[in-house]
Amino acid sequence: MEIIPAIDLIDGKCVRLTEGDYAQKTVYHEDPLDMAKKFEDAGLVRLHLVDLDGAKAGKVINHDVLDRIVRGTSLTVDYGGGIKTRSDLEKVFLYGARWATVGTIAVKEPERLEGWLEEFGPDRFLLGADVRGEKVSVSGWLENTDVDVFELIRKYKAKGISQVFCTDISRDGKLQGPSIGLYRKLIAAFPGLRVIASGGVSRMDDLQELRDAGCAAVIIGKAIYENRITLEELRIFIHSDHP
């Protein structure tokens, strides 16, 4: 199971929100590149980079941070937040993202996303399915919808999407444990799909449970920043996964 650390960006700084609430913001590092280098030094190879300014504004804003991290580390980066237009998408790829994370557009403008999947290839995209219950939320979690997460994933898996991360918003940033039951259901429903867990991870035992459930990867944020899980523990976990 792959470990994917998260860096969430507001004003170019590394922050975390609680339940996606911009009013519940904690700044953890002034320089995201410094944090990315620490992840790299710990043996991590991938980064989940979230442009929270972009998600709120509806356009990519923190592409300069993406550029610095890609140039300054060997991490492969998925980048999301504010990718609404073709120029946004091209900018994200130009500045070095391996994958573009798409969520809101998958719900609100499916025809546009389907065109991008055909043009750039589905392997360049990571579907973000953020949920309250099993209903998808969009626009940086500020807007709830009636879209069923299983229907959304089924639709885009048929279009070639091979990896999906699913965040239970009610658990995100609360360090109360991940939604193991939800991930088991997703893995059972979509054989062959890389299901990436996100939200609620607070201790190493959570990682073992997610691995046992069959998750392909897990995104970890606040637990690292608040030292609930250390980078050294993650280094050991990675080696135990790949003896």
Structure confidence by residue, pLDDT tens digits, 10-69: 999 999 877 667 787 888 888 999 999 999 999 999 999 999 999 888 899 999 999 999
**Mean pLDDT estimate for the chain:** 92
Encode pLDDT of 138-185 as tens digits. Answer: 766 667 889 999 999 999 999 999 999 998 887 665 667 899 999 999
- 234 lies in which domain range? 2-241
So what's the pLDDT on residue 117?
98
Domain count for the chain: 1
Q: How many helices (H) and strands (E) does the chain have?
A: 11, 12
Give the global pTM: 0.92
Measured distance CA(172)–CA(141) in Å, rounded: 11
Token couple for 84 = 């609404």
Residue 205, domain CATH = 3.20.20.70
So what's the pLDDT on residue 72?
98
At residue 132 the predicted structure's pLDDT band, cuts being 50, 70 and 90, is: confident
So what's the pLDDT on residue 141?
61
Would you name the residues annotated as active-site residues? 8, 130
Encode pLDDT of 192-240 as tens digits. Answer: 999 999 988 999 999 999 999 999 999 999 899 999 999 999 999 998 8
So what's the pLDDT on residue 243?
46
Integer CA distances (angstroms), 148 to 44, 128, 176, in order? 33, 13, 24
Measured distance CA(134)–CA(144) in Å, rounded: 11
